Chain A
Amino acid sequence: MGGAILAYLAKRITPMLSSIVSFLAISSAAVVFFTMTSSTDVVTVSVRNFTLQFGLNAYSWVFAAMVMGISALVSLYNIAYMSGKDRLGYFNLNFTLAIMSMMGIVFANDWISFFIFWEIMTWSSFLIVVYNGIDEGKIGTKYMIFSAVGGYAMLMAIVITNSQIDSFLIADLINAYPTFGHGMQAMIGILFLIGFSVKAAVMPLHVWAPRAYSDSPMSFTAIFSGLLSKMGIFGMAIMFISVFSKASIGDTFIYSQVIAWLGGVTAVMATFYAVIQKDAKRLLAYSSIAQLGYIVTGLAIGTKLSVMSALFLAVIHALYKGILFMAVGAVERQAGSTNLEQLGALIRKMPWTFFSALIAAIALAGIPPLGGFVGKWMLYESMITSTNPSHLFLVILIFLSSTAAFLYVYRLLFGLFLGQEEPEWDHVKEAPAPMVIPMVLMALTLILLGYAPGLLFEPIANGMEFLGFENVGWQMSSLSNIWGDTVDMQYVWGSVVTLFVLGAIFITIKNRKSTRYVTTKDIHTSGEIPEAHENLTYAVDFYKPFERAIEPVMRKTMDFYYNHFGNGLESLFGFVRKIYTGNGQTYAMYVVIFLVILLLIGEQIFK
Chain B
Amino acid sequence: MVVSPVHFIAVPLLAAFLMPILAKVNKNLLRIVPGIVLTYLGYVSVVLMNRVATEGTIIEVLAGWSAPWGINLVYTPFTGFLATLMIAMSFLIWLYSFKFKKVDDEPALKYFILQLMLTTGSVGLVLTGDIFNFFVFMEIIALSSYALTAFYRDRNGAEAAFKYLLIGAFASTLFLLAIVLLYSQVGTLNMAEISVRMHDVPTSMKVSILVLFLVGIGIEAEMFPLNGWAPDAYSQAPSPVGVAFAALVVKAGVYGLVRITYTLFGIEGSGIGPFLIIMGGITLVMAEITALKQTSLKRMLAYSSIGQMGFVLIAFGIGTHEAVFGAIFLMFNHAIIKGLLFMSGSYLVYNTPNKEIKYLSGYGMKMPVISLFFSLGALAIVGLPPFAGFWSKLYILLAAADGALYGLIALILVVSIIEIVYYFRVVGRLYFGKPAEGSIMRKPTVGGMIAMSILAIAILVVGFYPDIITGYIDAAASSILNTDEYIKNALGAVNELTPVENIIQ
Task: Give me the interface of A with B, judged by CB distance under 8 Å.
Answer: 46-48, 112, 115-120, 122-123, 126-127, 130-133, 135, 140-141, 144-145, 148-149, 152-153, 155-156, 159-160, 162-163, 187, 570, 573-574, 576-577, 579-580, 582, 584-588, 590-591, 593-595, 598-599, 602-607
Q: Counting CB contacts under 8 A, is B289 at the interface?
A: yes
Asked if residues B293 and A123 are in contact (CB atoms below 8 Å), the reply is: no
Note all chain B residues with C-beta closer than 8 A to A579.
286, 290
Does the CB pair B228–A586 fall under 8 Å?
A: yes
Residue among A126, A132, A156, A607 with the highest chain B CB neighbour number at 10 A:
A156
Is residue B340 contacting chain A, with contact meaning CB distance below 8 A?
no
Specify which chain A residues have a CB less than 8 angstroms from the CB of B394 in the assembled complex: 112, 155, 159
Which residues of chain A have C-beta atoms less than 8 A from B428's C-beta?
Answer: 130, 135, 140-141
25 residue pairs bridging A and B, Cβ less than 8 Å apart: A48-B474, A116-B386, A116-B390, A117-B385, A120-B384, A120-B386, A140-B432, A141-B428, A145-B420, A155-B397, A156-B409, A163-B401, A187-B406, A570-B293, A576-B286, A576-B289, A579-B286, A584-B162, A587-B163, A598-B215, A599-B211, A604-B271, A606-B206, A606-B271, A607-B203
Q: Are A603 and B207 in contact, with the CB atoms below 8 A?
A: yes
| Contact residues on B (Cβ < 8 Å of other chain), bracket | 35 or more
Contact between A159 and B228 (Cβ–Cβ < 8 Å)?
no
- 9 interchain residue pairs of minimum CB distance: A587-B228, A163-B401, A116-B385, A152-B413, A577-B290, A584-B163, A133-B432, A602-B207, A159-B401
CB distance from A163 to the nearest CB of B (A): 4
Whether A573 contacts B432 by the Cβ 8 Å rule is no
* Chain B positions near chain A (C-beta within 8 angstroms): 162-163, 166-167, 170-171, 174, 203-204, 206-208, 210-212, 214-215, 219, 225-226, 228-229, 231-232, 265, 270-272, 274-275, 286, 289-290, 292-293, 379, 384-386, 390-391, 394, 397-398, 400-402, 404, 406, 409-410, 413-414, 416-417, 420-421, 424-425, 428, 431-434, 466-467, 470, 474
- Complex: A480 Cα to B490 Cα, angstroms: 79
B410 and A591 contact, CB distance less than 8 A: no
Give Cα A472 to B204, complex, Å. 71
A105 to chain B, nearest CB (A): 12
Of B400, B416, B420, B467, most buried by chain A (CB within 10 Å of CB) is B420
Question: B425–A141 contact, CB under 8 A?
Answer: yes
**With A160-B406, A607-B270 given, is the CB distance from A591 to B432 under 8 Å?**
no
Cα A602 to Cα B271 with chains together (Å)? 10
Cβ contact within 8 Å between B417 and A119: no
Is there an interface contact between A606 and B210, defined as CB atoms closer than 8 Å? yes
Q: Is the CB of A594 within 8 A of B226?
A: yes
Contact present for B420 and A607 (CB under 8 Å): no
- Partner of A159 from the list B204, B400, B425 (CB cut-off 8 Å) is B400
- For the complex, give the distance between the alpha carbons of A47 and B385 in Å: 13
Q: Is the CB of A141 within 8 A of B226?
A: no
Query: Which residue, A122, A133, A582, has most C-beta atoms of chain B within 10 A?
Result: A133
A135 to B426, CA, bound (A): 12
Inter-subunit contact B424/A144 (CB<8 Å) = yes
B274–A587 CB distance below 8 A? no
Residue pair A591, B293 in contact (C-beta under 8 Å): no
B270 and A595 contact, CB distance less than 8 A: no
B208 touches A599 (CB 8 A): yes
Q: How far is the CA of A602 from the CA of B270 in the complex (A)?
A: 11
Contact A598 B424 (CB under 8 A): no
Of A47, A123, A590, A593, the residue contacting B391 (CB under 8 A) is A47
Distance to closest chain B CB from A504 (angstroms): 50
**A587 to B413, alpha carbons, bound, how many Å?**
29
Interchain CB contact (< 8 A) of A123 among B210, B274, B379: B379
Contact indicator B470/A119 (Cβ below 8 Å): no
B170: A residues at CB distance < 8 A = 588, 591
Inter-chain contacts of B424 with A (CB < 8 A)? 126, 140-141, 144
Give the distance in Å from the alpha carbon of A585 to the alpha carbon of B289 in the complex.
23
Q: Is the CB of A573 within 8 A of B215?
A: no
Q: How far is the CA of A579 from the CA of B283 in the complex (A)?
A: 13
Query: Min CB distance, B326 to chain A, in Å?
Result: 11
Which of A116, A153, A603 is B204 in contact with, Cβ under 8 Å? A603
With A140-B432, A141-B421 given, can you name 12 additional A-B contacts, CB distance below 8 Å? Answer: A48-B474, A115-B385, A119-B385, A120-B384, A155-B394, A159-B397, A573-B289, A584-B163, A587-B229, A591-B167, A595-B215, A606-B271
Beta-carbon nearest neighbor of A149 in chain B: B417
Q: Do A577 and B293 touch (CB < 8 A)?
A: yes
The reply to whether B421 and A145 form a contact with Cβ atoms under 8 Å apart is yes
Residue of B nearest to A581 (CB): B228
Say how far A388's CB is from chain B's closest CB, in angstroms: 32
Interface hub of A46, A160, A586 (most chain B Cβ within 10 A): A160
* Chain A residues, CB < 8 A from B274: 605
By the criterion CB–CB under 8 Å, are B397 and A598 in contact? no
Shortest B155–chain A CB gap in Å is 15
| Inter-chain contact A602/B208, CB cutoff 8 Å | yes
